[in-house]
Structure 1
Amino acid sequence: MRAALVERFGPPQGLVIGEVPDPVAGHGEILIEVAAAGVNFPDVLVVAGTYQILPARPFSPGKEVAGTVCAVGAGVHRITVGDRVLAQLEHGGYAELAVVAESQVVGLPDGVPFPEAAALGLAAITAHFALVRRAHLRPGETVLVTGAGGGVGSAGVQIAKALGATVVAVARDEQRAALATEQGADHVLLAGPSMREEVMALTDGRGANVVLESVGGDVFASALRCTAWEGRLVVIGFASGELPTLKAGHVLVKNLAVLGIQVSDYRDREPDSVRTVIEELLGLFVQGRLTVPIDRAFPLEEAGSALAAVEAGGLRGRVVLTCRPVAPVAQTPVG
């Protein structure tokens, strides 16, 4: 099979397309013919060699795939050959075939295309766990989402709305602000020095009950000051490249909770919980309450360019790789 390979750590353009032996499904594993693979910012870090989990080289990056099951190993009971599926994995997604444990695989409902399924996975799972598992979001609360228009930010806006929250989205430019508005944000702001004052004005001086923070740097500092008394700020990432310093005084005087989310830990420790969340997210997609805009789709041969596009930013939606020809899927009308 063909795969995009990391032979040495470095920039995305260093990925090599090569022929490698076809993988074989072992006990409890499933072999998937990959139709589409999600391209995520953590993949950029993996290829650069700066991510917290790095396999031995050479290896194929890629943490989420959608495709068709072409073989199953002994001990597999829930999934069968021919099923259309979405799967999570630590690496190995940028390839024509992928082996995944059955515990990490979810069947796709009719009408969900492979590219959208692959693009939905990691970002939406992260946003859901951040809101529900970590922040314990309650209906009627206000959620502040930084990095709106990005993968996790877009999912966070929509999932928070679906859970009954008022959403304040913070975007870095007008293009992403427009996308956040389309996705249902109640209020949209541009990141800048007046962020705290604007959020406080929108919330009658209370601030946001829950903050999803994925930017870092100065945005993190402003977001912390926007958090309401007994609010919960969830640290998702540092897209700006600047790791922030936490001012503990703000945490103390406002009784704040600053929380982290490393969603792959849930994948490994609680696969049943992750499958339940994915099934809920796919349900929202089928209902038209969660959209997954795709900015660009690259063929497998251009995996390096796909990662470079994610690294550069400025996208209006997700990036996916098409690893095999993707047949159109009839969409089920909503309403």
Structure 2
Amino acid sequence: MHAVYVRRFGGPETLTVESVPDPEPTADQVMVDIRATGANFVDLLVTGGTYQFVPKLPFVPGKLPAGIVSAIGANVRGLAVGDRVLTLAEQGGYATKVAVAPAACLPLPDSMTFVDAAAMGLAYDTAWFALCDRARGKAGEVALVLGASGGVGLAAIQIAKVYGLRVLAGISNPDKADLVRAAGADEIVDLAANNLHESLRQQVHRLTGGHGADIVLDPLGGDFFDAAVRAVAWCGRLVIIGFASGRIPTLKMNYVLLKNIEVSGLQVSDYRKRRPEQMRQCYTELFRHYESGALRPPPTTVFPLEKTGEALRLLRDRAVMGRIVVTPQSET
């Protein structure tokens, strides 16, 4: 098979595409011929060696590939050759084949393409757990989504609208306003405004009649987190998803006390490991809303496997709007 390898930690330019033997699934695994894998910001952390879980070198990166079951281990029940699945594999997605446990395979709806499955993988489950589990979002509440033009941000906007929330989309690039509005955002919050520490709260209060945001979803950290804490409504919830801006912030606990707010974190891969049934519930919901037409992946740019490094470079440089998906084979 062909696979993208990380043999030393570094930027996208350090990745190599190699021809290697096919993986050998055990009696308790299935083989999946990969058709599409989403490119995610976390891939940059994993390949750079800065993620909280550092894989042993060398390894094949790429999370949650989608494809077709091509072989079944002797002890496997409930799956068949030819089944179309989204896998919950933590690595191995940037390749033509991957061996996974059957419990890590989620059957795809007949109407869902592999590219759509890969585009929804990781981004949409992260957004669902942030909004529905950690923040306990309810219809009628106001959700401020920071980094709203990113993969998780766009997913969060769509999911919030499905569940009846009002969405304020925080973006730094005005050229991406149409993208977040197309996803369902009700209002735009300018994260590039002067004096963000004051201006973010002012914008949110103006858009909410002084109420503030019941929920803040923050994949950015840094100065954005510092400013967003001040925009949370009384008894609001702020969910930390990541630190894409580069700085891990600290929190003055007087904000938490005086406004009775909750601040929680989300490490979504832990749900895959610790609460697999809840992860299945998540995807049951996501797939149901996909089939109804309520959820659709944002515009997606597709790259062949041999250009995975270029795809991740463009992701790092925020040079592509919407999602990026890598497809090792022509069928999608």
Same fold per TM (> 0.5)? yes
Distance 1:224 1:84 in 2: 42
Deviates more, 1:113-122 or 1:23-32: 23-32
Q: In structure 1, what is the equivalent of residue 100 of structure 2?
A: 100
Q: In structure 2, what is the equivalent of residue 326 of structure 1?
A: 331
CA drift of 1:175 comes to: 2.4
Give 2:294's match in structure 1, choosing from 289, 304, 307: 289
SS in structure 2 opposite 1:148? coil
Tell me: CA distance 1:270–1:75, structure 2 relative to 1, closer, same or farther (3 Å).
farther
Letter in 2 for 1:123: A
Is 1:303 equivalent to 2:308 in the alignment? yes
Q: In structure 2, what is the equivalent of residue 248 of structure 1?
A: 253
Q: In structure 1, what is the equivalent of residue 188 of structure 2?
A: 188
Q: Give the TM-score normalised by the residue count of structure 2.
A: 0.96
Distance 1:24 1:82 in 2: 18
Distance 1:76 1:142 in 2: 45
Q: In structure 2, what is the equivalent of residue 38 of structure 1?
A: 38
Structure 2, gaps ≥5 residues long: none
Is 1:24 equivalent to 2:24 in the alignment? yes
Q: In structure 2, what is the equivalent of residue 127 of structure 1?
A: 127
Deviates more, 1:290-299 or 1:6-15: 290-299
Distance 2:154 2:287 in 1: 15
Distance 1:82 1:205 in 2: 55
Is 1:231 equivalent to 2:206 in the alignment? no
Is 1:222 equivalent to 2:216 in the alignment? no
Distance 2:145 2:37 in 1: 26
Distance 2:220 2:184 in 1: 21
Letter in 1 for 2:8: R
Deviates more, 1:240-249 or 1:90-99: 240-249
SS in structure 2 opposite 1:297? strand
Is 1:65 equivalent to 2:70 in the alignment? no
Distance 2:208 2:28 in 1: 50
Q: In structure 2, what is the equivalent of residue 171 of structure 1?
A: 171
Deviates more, 1:43-52 or 1:189-198: 189-198
Note if contact 1:148-1:177 (Cα within 8 Å) is conserved in structure 2.
Answer: no
Distance 2:27 2:159 in 1: 36
Tell me: CA distance 1:23–1:294, structure 2 relative to 1, closer, same or farther (3 Å).
farther
Q: In structure 2, what is the equivalent of residue 267 of structure 1?
A: 272
Write out the 4+ residue segments of structure 1 that deviate beyond 2 Å after TM superposition: none
Cα offsets for 1:79-121 (capped at 9, x unmatched): 2110111111111111000111111111111121111101101
CA drift of 1:74 comes to: 2.7
Q: Give the TM-score normalised by the residue count of structure 1.
A: 0.95
CA drift of 1:319 comes to: 0.7
Note if contact 1:116-1:294 (Cα within 8 Å) is conserved in structure 2.
Answer: no
Q: In structure 2, what is the equivalent of residue 331 of structure 1?
A: none
Deviates more, 1:34-43 or 1:50-59: 50-59
Letter in 2 for 1:300: L
Letter in 2 for 1:59: F
Aligned 1:67-86 pairs, distance under 5 A: 67-86=67-86
SS in structure 2 opposite 1:296? strand
CA drift of 1:325 comes to: 1.2
User: Structure 1 vs Structure 2: percent identity of aligned residues?
Assistant: 46
Say what the alpha-carbon RMSD is for the aligned residues: 1.2
Note if contact 2:119-2:300 (Cα within 8 Å) is conserved in structure 1.
Answer: no
Distance 1:97 1:73 in 2: 15
Structure 1, gaps ≥5 residues long: 328-335
Note if contact 1:295-1:315 (Cα within 8 Å) is conserved in structure 2.
Answer: no
Give the number of aligned pairs.
327
